Amino acid sequence: MAPRVRAALGKVERHRLVPADQANLAYRNHPLPIGHSQTISQPYIVALSTDLLAARAESRGPRGRHRVGLPGRGARRARQQVYTIEIVEALGRTAESRLGALGYKNIEVRIGDGYKGWPEKAPFDGIVVTAAAPRVPQALVDQLKPGWPDGDPVGERWEVQQLLLIVRKADGTVEQKNVLPVRFVPLVPGR
């Protein structure tokens, strides 16, 4: 793992990002319930997906300011501007207020459907999806800058899903590789 990813994750006050009755379990390496039948992802998966993005960013040259999209994603400490989309309004609002209380000023939360991404803020230098879609949402690929990555769990709810690393090429086609088998809650389509 990139040392700066390790350092950043080490500073995340995860006990303040989960419901109070889960705070004493916050640093265990497994998902935790956050209400509304949803979970916060386990620290290992958060670290892995952040590291996949960081590795790509580093291979692209000196650190700059990046725009990162996170459908279904909670909090990350980053120098970049981060846009996160949550479909369950209560979870999105709670995330927004917890992130504000923790002093994150570079994260914008939208209540909406992550399948659609956030076209007004695109293109993104990276996208991390934290719920599994049956296939890669094309709108998210279309909102990536060419050469930049999308970490996306793909598969049906009760099947083995794969965390995919997808890189959009300049001609619009994608390069795709399986990172590891995972089990995520489904990315539910908005109405």
Ligand X SMILES: C[S@@+](CC[C@H](N)C(=O)[O-])C[C@H]1O[C@@H](n2cnc3c(N)ncnc32)[C@H](O)[C@@H]1O
157 φ, ψ to 5°?
Answer: -55, -50
Task: Tell me whether residue 41 is one of the annotated catalytic residues.
Answer: yes
Task: For the CB of residue 61, give the shortest distance to ligand X in the complex, in Å.
Answer: 28
Name the active-site residue from 37, 41, 49, 97.
41
Closer of 17 and 144 to ligand X (Cβ): 17
Task: For the CB of residue 82, give the shortest distance to ligand X in the complex, in Å.
Answer: 12
Does residue 73 bind ligand X (CB under 6 A)? yes
* 36-55 positions binding ligand X, by CB under 6 A: 38-41
* 150-189 positions binding ligand X, by CB under 6 A: 184-185, 187-188
Distances from the Cα of 111 to the Cαs of 72, 88, 103, 150, in angstroms? 10, 7, 20, 20
Query: Please, what is the end-to-end C-alpha distance for the chain in angstroms?
Result: 38
Question: Of these, 87, 99, 164, 166, which contacts ligand X (CB under 6 A)?
Answer: 87
**Concatenated DSSP letters for 92-130?**
HHHHHHHHHHTT--SEEEEES-GGG--GGG--BSEEE--
User: Which amino acid belongs to residue 93?
Assistant: R
Interface contacts to ligand X, rule CB under 6 A: 38-41, 71-74, 85-88, 91, 113-115, 130-131, 184-185, 187-188, 190
Give catalytic residues, as residue numbers: 41
